Amino acid sequence: MKKIAIITGAAKGIGKAIAERMYAENYITILVDVDVENGNKLAEQLGENAHYFNCDIRNEKAVEELFQTVIKKFNRLDALVNNAGIIKDNVIWKMPTEDFDAVIDINLKGTWLMCKNAASIMKNQQNGRIVNITSRAWLGNPGQSNYSASKAGVVGLTRVLALELGKYGVLVNAIAPGLIDTPLTQKLSLDVQQKLIQAQPTKSMGKPKDIANAVVFLCDDKTQFITGQTIYVDGGKSIGAGI
């Protein structure tokens, strides 16, 4: 029987790589994104077991409808990958409150709404995997008071859900990507990109598929007994004394 996976922010970047990899792993792949053009394009490219849903994860009603539709059609949910996220960087004294709200609403509240809907389904079926894409920025990064707070929130959320859902056979983990080559990081100037690459132990950017590989590992039936963890996929950037 094919497993069912929902991936948010699946139209491009890391989410697209996760969707492609999960599709290749034989999942019925539900692509959730607000980018209608790229979402539909990817679903078409992947094939008949990929389905695109235009759903803004901030919208509680839209998220509920998404889960109702998925359950009506497939009657189960094996994996939820919360990947959708945005950045709106600035030092706090220049950051408009709207930019704080926008980042928290998508990265944290949207992820929470998706988890809430998945949790009751997975709890009832006594099985499931949730993988939340956080960022190593949750450790704290100047200019990202909104983003770091949202991603630290995702780490906290992941740990709570691991505690709440463990006895129902549901494993919940987070992945903290470091610098990954996607449309999000391509918005940075080449100069900034080079500086960030030079600060990496590996002197390289990661690829979206590096995150996709970690997601597939965490969702695999063979992977048991790992829950509540944050796995760093960051070329070693989060280790060392930084001296």
Ligand X SMILES: NC(=O)c1ccc[n+]([C@@H]2O[C@H](COP(=O)([O-])OP(=O)(O)OC[C@H]3O[C@@H](n4cnc5c(N)ncnc54)[C@H](O)[C@@H]3O)[C@@H](O)[C@H]2O)c1
Residue 78 vs 210, nearer CB to ligand X: 210
Check binding of 177 to ligand X (CB under 6 A): yes
Out of 6, 28, 115, 179, the residue judged to bind ligand X by CB under 6 A: 179
Residue 147 bears catalytic tag: yes
Check binding of 135 to ligand X (CB under 6 A): yes
How far is the C-alpha of 10 from the C-alpha of 84, rounded, in Å?
A: 7
Check binding of 35 to ligand X (CB under 6 A): yes
Out of 49, 65, 71, 86, the residue judged to bind ligand X by CB under 6 A: 86
Structure tokens at 233: 């996929």
Q: Total number of residues binding ligand X (CB under 6 A)?
A: 29
Check binding of 85 to ligand X (CB under 6 A): yes
- Applying CB under 6 A, which part among 29-37, 123-131, 213-221, 223-231 lies near ligand X? 29-37
How far is the C-alpha of 69 from the C-alpha of 140, rounded, in Å?
A: 38
Check binding of 144 to ligand X (CB under 6 A): no
Cα–Cα distances (Å) from 134 to 17, 25, 236, in that order, read 16, 23, 16
- Residue 86 C-beta: closest distance to ligand X, Å: 5
| Calculated CA dihedral for residues 232, 235, 241, 242, nearest 10 degrees | -120
Extended strands (E) in the chain? 4-8, 28-33, 50-54, 79-82, 128-133, 170-177, 230-233
What is 14-62 written as a DSSP string? HHHHHHHHHHHTT-EEEEEES-HHHHHHHHHHH-TTEEEEE--TT-HHH
Backbone angles phi, psi at 96, to 5 degrees: -65, 145
- Residue 214 C-beta: closest distance to ligand X, Å: 12
Check binding of 58 to ligand X (CB under 6 A): yes
- Residue 134 C-beta: closest distance to ligand X, Å: 7
Residues that bind ligand X (CB under 6 A): 8-9, 11-15, 32-35, 56-58, 83-86, 106, 110, 133, 135, 177, 179-180, 182-185
The catalytic residues are: 147
